[in-house]
Every structure is written in structure tokens, then in C-alpha cells.
Amino acid sequence: MSELTRRIIFAVIAAPASIALVYFGDWVLAIVLSVLAALAAWEFFRMARETGALPLEPAGIALAALLPIAVHAQRLGVYTLSLTAIVCMILVLFASTIWLRGPTGKPVSSVAITVFGVFYAGLFSYIYALRYHDYAVGAGAGTVLVFLPVLITWSTDVGAYTFGRTFGKKKLIPSVSPGKTVEGALGGLGLAIVICLLYVRFILMPYAQLGLTIQGAVLFAIVVSIAAQTGDLAESLLKREAGVKDSSRILPGHGGILDRFDSLLFVMPIAMLLLGRLLLPVPQ
């Protein structure tokens, strides 16, 4: 079975479940994202250990899992995650290295890698945040809005793989990912633009009463596609340094959580930022 076939099968199976999950939203979505964040943090720390680092793994996994829950709590008005709380968390982690690591246990790198791992895995929280975007009124609108960057990311992946296999000659960054080509990257970018324009016109506007100008949709597709490909390369860089093929084997035939969601982790915060400036309500 080819890589493209496996990706399509995975998408066909995962898509309906993902749509239902995002549509329902609320605590169910927060819990699933919390589990994904915890698994992603575990994979990240696993790779970090392969490089000789000593992350504060249990604390990092727990904190990554708490981030989507904190975003959910903030929406409900139960708790607001402040910058001060984040600073205090980092200070507690740093202080814990006095007993857990000591001067010979790489305390500085332990804290730095742990904090980065928490926020990297915690980027799953942006799926929840986008689902409840201020402009998205209702479950349907929120769901449609979430799947705009998701579909562009998937289109970029499929386009890059297809065009790369068919026309690829010039390597993109062979030291990081030998299989990726310039032709593939451009093909993924082109398909992302087409899919974004179609999605905005036939899905986002009629079903969410939200839209983008043609220029805005093209800009959004370009930036999201570049972010998706950068996220993929960034995770490849982590695996190269760790000397592993996959982040884990949680998903049979697909590697780990980071292998499947590496692009989306880069995309979601950028999509949130761009949509706050480009998104326009469609007049009734």
C-alpha cells in the first residue's frame, strides 16, 4: 500500500469522526484534545531523551494535557489562564530541578525542553479556540471554520506528495527531509489555493455566513500552506536529531500523533491570527 493510499484511507476514516467531535465541541472536544496533547508531549520528550536531554517528563505531559482544559474553562468563565500563571509554572519547574536534577543533571536544558514541549504539544488547544471563534455563531459555523485550515493542510499534504512523486527533481531541504522536493512544495501550495477558494465559496459562506475576499483567501491559503509544510519539516528535524523514523507507533502504519498532526500544530495558531483579520461576516 502506497503512502498516498494510506493517507487517504486515514482521512476517510478520521474525517467523519473528527467532524462529529468538533461539531459537538464543549467538554468532549476539550478532553480529546487534552489526550492528544498529552500523547504529543510524551512523544516529544521521548525524542528529546534520545538526544541525551533529561526533560521533566511527568510534569510536562500533565501540563500539556491541562492546556486544552484551561482553554475550555476560560470559555466557561471558570478560570482564566494568565501570563502570571504561566510564569509561575515555569518558575516551579525551574525550582524543582534543584532536587530532581541537581547541577550535573542538565537543569537548564531540562526546564527549557520541558517548557517548549508543553507549549508545542499544547498547540492542540487552538482547535478548540477556533471552534469557538467570536465570528462563528453556532456549532455548524464553528465546525466549518475549523475545517478550513484543516482542509488546506490536508490539500497541501496530498498536493505535495502527488506533485513531488510525479514531477519532483529538485530537493527542497535534503538534510532534513530527503523525500521532499521544490516541485512538490509548489504543487501543494497551488492545490491549497484552489481548495481554499472553493471551500470559502461553497462551504464557508453558505453554511457559516462567513467569508474571505478573493485576495484574502489566496493570502490565507499561501500562509497556511507554508505553515503546514514548515511544521512537517520542523518535526522531521526533531526526528533527525533524535535518530528515529517515527515519533512513536501509536497509530499503526502512520507513526505517532506528532507524525499525523505536525503540520496542523503549526497551522492552527497562524490560522487563528489570520482569520481574526481576514474573516468577514456575510450579509444575510
For 263-276, write each residue's pLDDT tens digit.
999 999 999 999 99
pLDDT at position 10: 72
**Phi, psi at 148, each rounded to 5°:** -65, -60
Pairing of the two strands 280-281 and 171-173: unpaired
Is the separation of the CB atoms in 196 and 220 below 8 Å? yes
pTM as predicted: 0.93
Residue 7 has pLDDT above 70, yes or no: no
Average pLDDT over residues 64-89: 93
Amino acid at site 122: G
Distance between first and last Cα of the chain: 47
Q: How far apart are CA 34 and CA 13, in angstroms?
A: 21
> Which helix (H) or strand (E) is 181 found in, with range?
strand 177-181
Check if the beta carbon of residue 131 is closer than 8 Å to that of residue 143.
Answer: yes
The counts of H helices and E strands in the chain are 11, 4
Confidence category of residue 80, pLDDT binned at 50, 70, 90: confident
Pair 71, 129: CB distance under 8 Å = yes
Angle at 275 between CA 271 and CA 278, to 5 degrees: 135
